[in-house]
Amino acid sequence: MILAAPWQQRSSALLKFTKAQEPKVEVLAIKVESLFKPILPTGFGFAVVAPDGKVLFHSLPVRNMNEDFIKEARGSNSLQALFSQGSTGILDINYLGTTKKMWVTPLRAAIHPRLTLVVFKDSADPTTMNMAVVVVFAVLVMAYAILPVFLVVAIHITRRKEYPLEVIWPSCA
């Protein structure tokens, strides 16, 4: 990320420039760790979006500066209205192939053009979590159902005698 502002000469500055050498812009190039490869709970994501829908920062770094958020949200009129008016709202929108609940709010900063933060949660995530619980439950039930059978077979193998019917038909011969 590059932050830039017009150069302003300060009286306490250690560097002295001639009129021809005087810089025009102050620039700071930084990597904002909270915007690049963030660690988020499963199913959550975010995007920092310009008013025209261009994604500046996304929770998936490959989408940084490569995505038109409004186009990916299938041209949602309510989303466009929130971006252009700088309003805050909650929407259910089809984005990246699934329905997501989105919270849209403008960033409070002296930046022109105004940027908007979009935080979204995948609505299919609880279904996935429920399916995982069902699968784990089924595996445990199967393990507990089969365990007694294995125990009986193990006891039978370890206590086996030469004449297997001796329990019900004793015969020395």
Provide the token pair at 144: 């507990």
- Residues above pLDDT 90, as percent of the chain: 14
Q: Check whether residue 59 and residue 89 sit in a common domain.
A: yes
Helix H or strand E segment including 104: strand 98-106
Q: State pLDDT tens for residues 1-50.
A: 777 788 777 665 566 666 676 777 888 888 877 777 788 888 889 999 98
pTM above 0.85, yes or no: no
Distance of CA 94 to the CA centre of its chain: 16
Q: How many domains is the chain partitioned into structurally?
A: 2
With respect to residue 1, please indicate whether it lies within any of the assigned structural domains.
Answer: no
The pLDDT-based confidence of 138 (bands split at 50, 70, 90) is: very high
Tell me the average pLDDT across 83-107: 88
pLDDT digit string, tens, across residues 110-124: 677 788 999 999 876
Q: Are 74 and 134 in the same domain?
A: no
Cβ contact 50:86 at 8 Å: no
Query: Within a domain: residue 118?
Result: yes
Q: Does 100 share its domain with 132?
A: no
Is residue 116 domain-shared with residue 94, that is, in the same domain?
yes
Bond from prior residue into 113 cis (ω within 30 degrees of 0): yes
Where b means 16+ CB within 10 Å and e means fewer, 108-118 reads eeeeeebbbbb
Residue 136's pLDDT band, with cuts at 50, 70 and 90, is very high
pLDDT tens for each residue of 27-41: 888 887 777 778 888
Tell me which of 123, 140, 157 is where a domain ends. 123
In a domain, 48, yes or no: yes
Average pLDDT value for residue range 62-88: 86
| Ramachandran class of 96: left when φ > 0, alpha when ψ lies in -120 to 50, beta otherwise | left
Q: Give the residue among 81, 120, 117 at the shortest CA–CA distance from 101.
A: 120
Instruction: Output the average pLDDT for the chain.
Output: 82
Is 158 part of a structural domain of the chain? yes
Q: Do 76 and 143 belong to one domain?
A: no
For position 127, what pLDDT does the model report? 67
Q: What is the pLDDT of residue 122?
A: 83
Q: What is the CATH number of the domain that holds 46?
A: 3.30.450.20
Q: 3-state DSSP helix/strand/coil percent for the chain, to nearest 5?
A: 30, 25, 45
Are 87 and 150 in the same domain?
A: no
In the chain, which residue ranges form alpha helices assigned H by DSSP? 69-72, 77-85, 125-158
How many angstroms from the chain centroid is the CA of residue 133?
Answer: 21
Print the domain residue range for 80: 35-123
- Is 42 in the same domain as 113? yes
User: Which range is least confidently modeled, 118-122, 126-130, 131-135, 139-143?
Assistant: 126-130
In the chain, pLDDT over 70 holds for what percent of residues? 83
